[in-house]
Amino acid sequence: MNNWNWRKIGGLSTVVFLILAIFGTLFHWSINRIYVVEGKSLMLRYKGPLPFQFWSSKDTAKPGNFAEEGEIGILRNLRGHGRHFYCPFWWERTIVSDLIIKPGQVAIVTSKLGEDLDQGQFLVDGRMGETKHKGTLRIVYPPGRYRIHPYAYTAKVVGTVITESGKQQKHSGWVEIPTGYVGVVTNMTNNPLTGALTGIQNKVLPPGIYPVNVEEQQIDIFEIGYRETTIMCDKKMKNGVPEVDEQGEPLIADNRTGIEFPSNDGFAIHMDFTAIWGVMPDQAAEAVRIFGNVAEVENKVVIPQTESIGRIHGSRYSAVELLVGEDRQKFQIETAEAFDAIMKEKKLTMLYGLVRHVYIPSEVRVPIQTKYIADELKITAEQKRLTAIEESNFVEAEKKVLLEGIRVERDTDRLVEVLKAEGNKTAEETKAETIQLVAKVDREVAELEAQATVLKGQALATAVKLEEEAKSQKFELAVKAFGSPEAYNRFIFAKHLPDNIELKLLYAGEGTFWTDLKGFNNTAMGKLLKDSTDKSRK
């Protein structure tokens, strides 16, 4: 084959390669490409190799399980949003939506894959992607967005689920416990993770929001704190106003309301009673376990026990004892203590038990009230008399106080004058003593000044004396230094000669002195003698 043929074959090969590359790229970016938007996921199922995928079951995943590497079946992991490339000839591609749970909702998730649970168990422990058994997951999912594999799990979104159980309301799902309430938990099954057993739990939930599994727990929202229960007799009404008898006592109706009992002397007595009671957080679980709810506690315990205690203890007293005196107070204390004991026995709390009013028949009440009114009138008259005496005593005391005030004021003025005179006397004495002290000081100052003058004169005289002595000592020392007084005089004479003196020698031989005096006046000695003569003339 020549070179031209080889070049032709090479060119065709290049063209074929380019065509295949372009076709492969277009196939990959069009057929294989799949785009997953945000909020969705991609589930993949491997179909197997093309020649065998339609009739061969070799390397197929077990039913109820994910496909492992190389097995035909659905893969465990979902692909998130974005661009993915999987050939549809080998892969089945399914886009699934994320699980969205809104506020006020929870999701109950069920696992479809894994082993069967043990007998008696129906809740699966673990989170999505971690479970190993089939069944409802114990954990519930609060509001949010979750990626859920539809082959492995199903989800049921619920809000607040309320189940009626007799007179109780059981809550699950999205449970909100408001302030003033607690949540009493009832487990539908044992929890091996926490050790909690089936039934009502002693530990209650405080106020808050809780996601609760419908299959696992139910919550009783139980009101806690104190509440008031009053048992009262109905009154006879006229034009909307209670009727009263001549003594102002309200008339009770004939419908036998309130607490009714016979006194030990045979009279029909009616009574109003108020109980302040409540259920505390640590008592809520027992109250739910025994009674169900707060209303049942009131209907089954508080009201019946109040009526029973009032009848039992009230029948021990006579009508008169229930009306007045210490026995009435004793009856109040007995009923309160008995009611408190019953509440503690039922694991409830009582704050107060109050006997509000006791209705005594008029045939008993009127004579007693009349007697007491007379006694009160007598006591009032006596008090008026005592008040008048005290008023007179007060007036007398007031006058005494006024008189004492005048006396105190007079004594005060006198005492002020005495103190003022003593103050003036003390001031004058102090002034005289001050003058004496000043004169004494002035005298001492004058004496000191005189002494100072004397000392000053003595010092000056001594200074002059010392100065003269110093001068004489100076001349004496000078004379001694020159050897004789004549030598010292010559030194003084020479010291005072003028600097420009002219000395001339004169010959004074015999017969020449007077002849040479003609030039004597021009000499220094001549000038000196002349000056001395002029001074002596003046």
Please check whether residue 337 lies inside any domain of the structure: yes
Instruction: Give the domain CATH number at 354.
Output: 3.30.479.30
Please tell me the predicted confidence (pLDDT) of residue 510. Answer: 54
Q: Check residues 418 and 284 and name the one with the higher pLDDT.
A: 284
Judge whether 275 and 352 are in contact, CB under 8 Å: yes
Last residue of a domain, one of 69, 97, 125: 97
Give the up-direction half-sphere exposure of residue 170: CA atoms within 13 A in the CB hemisphere: 17
What pLDDT does residue 238 have? 83
Across the range 201-212, mean pLDDT stands at: 94
Q: Is the model more confident about 6 or about 458?
A: 458
- pLDDT 10s digits, 344-398: 999 999 998 888 888 888 777 777 667 667 777 788 888 888 888 888 888 888 8
Do 237 and 345 fall into the same domain? yes
Identify the weakest region by mean pLDDT among 312-321, 454-463, 495-504, 525-534.
525-534
Please indicate, yes or no, whether residues 305 and 348 belong to a single structural domain of this protein. Answer: yes
Task: Please tell me which residue, 219 or 323, carries the higher pLDDT value.
Answer: 219
Tens of pLDDT, residues 259-312: 888 888 888 888 899 999 999 999 999 999 999 899 999 999 999 988 888 888
Buried b or exposed e, range 442-463, using 16+ CB within 10 angstroms? eeeeeeeeeeeeeeeeeeeeee
Please report which helix (H) or strand (E) contains residue 63, including its range: none
- Say yes or no: 131 and 76 in one domain: no
Matching residue, tokens 């035909």: 72
Strands 160-165 and 168-177: antiparallel
DSSP at 411: H
Asked whether residue 506 carries a pLDDT value surpassing 70, the answer given is no
345 and 254, same structural domain? Answer: yes
Label residue 430 by pLDDT band (50, 70, 90). Answer: confident
Tally of CA atoms within 13 A in the half-sphere of 60 that contains its CB: 10
SS3 annotation, 312-335:
HHHCCCCHHHHHCCHHHHHHHHHH
Structure confidence at residue 184 (pLDDT):
95
Domain shared by 208 and 240, yes or no: no
* Model pLDDT, residue 536: 47
Q: How many CB atoms lie within 10 A of CB 247?
A: 11
| Residues 344 and 241 placed together within one structural domain of the fold | yes
Q: Which of 223, 254, 284 is the last residue of a domain?
A: 223
Distance CA 252, CA 254 (A): 7
pLDDT of amino acid 99: 93
Residue 533 φ then ψ, to 5°: -70, -40
Q: Are residues 311 and 399 located together in one domain of the fold?
A: no
Q: How many domains does the chain have?
A: 5
pLDDT tier for residue 499 given thresholds of 50, 70 and 90: low
Residue after which a domain boundary falls, among 74, 97, 120: 97
Top-confidence range, 98-102, 126-130, 250-254 = 98-102
Decide: 171 and 220 in contact? Cβ < 8 Å.
yes
Per-residue pLDDT tens digits for 330-355: 888 888 899 899 999 999 999 988 88
395 and 468 assigned to the same domain: yes
Q: What is the DSSP letter of 235?
A: B
At position 134, the amino acid (one-letter code) is K
DSSP 440-467: HHHHHHHHHHHHHHHHHHHHHHHHHHHH
Extract the tokens encoding 199.
């039934």
- Asked whether residue 283 falls in the same domain as residue 297, the answer is yes
Same domain, 192 and 235: no
Phi, psi dihedrals of residue 159, rounded to the nearest 5°: -100, -130
Helices 303-314 + 326-345 axis angle, to 10 = 140
Rg (CA), the chain: 68
Give the pLDDT confidence of 50-83 residue by residue, as tens digits: 655 554 555 787 887 888 877 888 888 899 889 8
Residue 505 within a domain: yes
Which of the 8 DSSP states describes residue 225? E
Specify the pLDDT at position 464: 78
Q: To 10 degrees, what angle do helices 485-495 and 362-482 make?
A: 100
- What are the C-alpha distances in Å from 536 to residues 73, 521, 524, 530? 167, 18, 18, 10
Beta bridge partners of 63: none
Residue-number span of the structural domain to which 291 is assigned: 227-360
Residues 488, 445: one domain? Answer: yes
- Report the run of H or E that residue 201 belongs to, with start and end: none
Residue 529 — very low, low, confident or very high, per pLDDT cuts 50/70/90? very low
Query: Given this model, what pLDDT does residue 175 score?
Result: 95
Q: How far apart are CA 86 and CA 298, in angstroms?
A: 69
- What tokens appear for 500 in the block? 């420009």
Nearest CA to 44 out of 72, 24, 6 is that of 72
Does 197 or 326 have the greater pLDDT score? 197
Clarify whether residues 116 and 79 are in a common domain.
no
Give the global pTM.
Answer: 0.59
Q: Confirm whether 129 is domain-assigned.
A: yes
Q: Name which of 229, 201, 349 is nearest 279 in CA terms.
A: 349
Average pLDDT estimate for 218-225? 94
Percentage of the chain exceeding pLDDT 70: 86
In tens, the pLDDT along 126-140 reads 899 888 889 999 999
Q: Is residue 276 part of a domain?
A: yes
